[in-house]
Amino acid sequence: MTTFTRVGDSDSLAGEASHIAIEELGFYSLTAVRTGSGNLKLINWGTGAPGPVSRTGDSDDQAGAVSEIAVTRNRNLTVTAVRDGSDDLLLISWNDDAGSGDIARLKDTHGQAGTASLIAIEPGPAKSAADLITAVRTGAGDLKLISWRLDAADGTITRLGDSDDQAGEVGLIALSVQDDIAITAVRTGSGDLELISWGVSEDGTSISRLGDSGSQAGQVSEIAIAGLVTAVRAGNGHLKLISWSVSPDGTQIQRLGDSDDLAGDATCICLSRFSDTRYVAAVRAGNGCLKLIAFDVDPASGAISRTGDSDDQAGEVGEVSLATPGSNNITTAVQAGDGSLKLITWRMEDGPASGSRGRHAVGSAKPD
C-alpha cells in the first residue's frame, strides 16, 4: 500500500496566483505563475528538506502580461512558453540559479510565432538538434508542433521548423517526448481523446506525423500525459488512467489498459511518472480538496492498479500542479482557497498491500 505523508508547506510566502506551473530543480522547485496583476512571475523554492518550504528568490518584474503558462528545463536553463498580452506564443529563457537565488531573464522569441493557445512545452528528442518542442492550438483552432534550438551560452531561442497542416481542430493538448518520438494527447473536434505520434528530424527542421490512436478512446474534458500513460477526466467526470504502447517507428499506437473506475470525480488533473511502473496523479477531488493518488502500471501488459492516496491531508484548492522529482519527495503547487499560491511537500512510501487499495485493474490539459 502506498502512503503519502505531508512534510511541509510554504504558508503565506506568495500572493494571488493562477495558471500555476512547476518544475523540479533537485532540492529546489521553480513555479511560474500569473500574478494578481496579470503578469508572469517565476519563484524559486527550497523544497528538499522536511519542514517549511522556503522562498529563495524570484524574477521580480522582468515579464509582462500572460494568459497561459507552460514551463520546462533544458541545457541548465528554464524556459517558459506563454500566451502573451497579444495572444501570441512567446518563449522566454531564464537563468534560474539552480533554484537557490534570484532569476534572470535572458532571451525570448518575440516575432517568431503567431497566435496560440493550449500551450505545452517539453525538451526535444535526444537525437535531434531541437532542444525544445512546443505544441499549441493555432489561431485557426488547429494543432501545431514547433521545434526550437536553445543556446546554453546566452539563452537565445531559434525557431527551427514546425508540423505545418498535418493535424486538425483540437480542444485540449498535452505533450510527451519519448526517445525520438513526440506524442500529443488531444481532444479532437468531436470531443474524443486521440494520441498522435510525431517524428522530428535530426536537424530539427522537420516534424512529420507518424500515426495516431484513432477511435480507441472516448470523450474527455481534461488530459494529462506522462510517458505513455494518459490521465483524463472521462465522460462521467471521473479520473481515468490509460496506458498505451507506441511502435519503435511511431506508426502504431495501441491502447493497453486502464484504471477502470478506481478513482472518483476529479478536475485540475496532473500526472507524473516516478519510474517505469509508478505514476502519481494530483487532482482536485470531488469535494474540492487536493488529493494525490498512486498507480502502478505493468510495463508489459499495461494493466493499472491503484496503490494508495493522500486521503484528507490538504484542503480546498482552485488549481493544481505537480513536479516530477528524482525521488519519492513530491512537491505540489496549488491555488489555495483564498486564491494565493501554496507549495506543499510530500513523502511517498510503499508498505504491504492491503484491502481495496491494492486491487488489480485490467486493461497535465485543462478545458478552455
Three-state secondary-structure class, residue 100: coil
Q: Quote the pLDDT of residue 359.
A: 21
Confidence of residue 353 (pLDDT cuts 50, 70, 90): very low
Beta bridge partners of 59: none
The answer to whether 346 touches 7, Cβ cutoff 8 Å, is yes
Which pLDDT score, from 0 to 100, does residue 356 have?
28
pLDDT of residue 203: 97
Mean pLDDT for the chain overall: 93
Is-contact 323 331, C-beta < 8 A? yes
**Helical spans, DSSP H, in 44-168:** none
- 8 A C-beta contact, residue 274 and residue 328: yes
pTM listed for this prediction = 0.94
Distances in Å between the Cα of 115 and the Cα atoms of 88, 109, 110, 330 are: 4, 13, 12, 34
Q: Which pLDDT does position 364 carry in this prediction?
A: 58
Q: How confident is the model at residue 204 (pLDDT cuts 50, 70, 90)?
A: very high
CB burial of 202-238 (b: ≥16 within 10 Å; e: otherwise) equals eebbbbebbbbbeeebeebbbbbbbbbbbbbbbeeeb
Number of other CB atoms surrounding residue 77 within 10 Å: 20
What is the pLDDT, as a whole number, of residue 332? 97
Rounded CA-CA distance 289/286 in Å is: 7
pLDDT at 66 exceeding the cut of 60: yes
- Sorting pLDDT into bands at 50, 70 and 90, what band is 246? very high
**48-57, 142-151, 210-219, 311-320: which has the minimum mean pLDDT?**
48-57
Find all residues with CB under 8 Å of 111, minimum gap 6, and list them. none
Q: What is the rounded CA–CA span in Å between residue 153 and residue 242?
A: 40
Alpha-carbon span 122 to 134, nearest angstrom: 7
Is a pLDDT exceeding 50 seen at residue 37?
yes
Q: What is the mean pLDDT of the segment spanning 186-191? A: 96
Give ∠ CA 19-24-26 in degrees, rounded to 5.
Answer: 160
pLDDT band at 363 (very low <50, low <70, confident <90, very high): very low
pLDDT, tens digit (0-9, with 9 covering 90-100), for 250-288: 999 999 999 988 788 999 999 999 999 999 999 999 999
Domains in the chain, ordered, with CATH? 2-358 (2.130.10.10)
% of the chain with per-residue pLDDT over 90: 88
Range of weakest confidence among 205-219, 294-308, 341-355: 341-355
**Close Cβ partners of 368 (under 8 Å, ≥ 6 residues apart):** 117, 118, 171
Closest residue by Cα to residue 220 from 364, 5, 88, 94: 364
Take residue 358 and report the three cell numbers written for it.
Answer: 491494492
Which pLDDT score, from 0 to 100, does residue 355 have?
33
Beta carbons of 240 and 257 less than 8 angstroms apart: no
Tell me phi and psi for residue 97, to 5 degrees. Answer: 55, 30
pLDDT for 188 beyond 60: yes
| pLDDT score, position 362 | 20
Buried b (16+ CB within 10 A) or exposed e, 255-291: bbbbbbebbeebbbbbbbbbeeebbbbbbbbeeebbb
Nearest to 77 by CA among 8, 137, 150: 150
User: Which three-class secondary structure state does DSSP give residue 145?
Assistant: strand
Contact indicator for 267, 233 with CB cutoff of 8 Å: yes
Which one-letter amino acid corresponds to residue 332? T
Give the per-residue pLDDT at 115: 98
Closest to 157 (Cα-Cα) out of 115, 105, 199: 105
120-168 pLDDT per residue, tens: 999 999 999 999 999 999 999 999 999 999 999 999 999 999 999 999 9
Flag whether pLDDT at 367 surpasses 60.
Answer: no
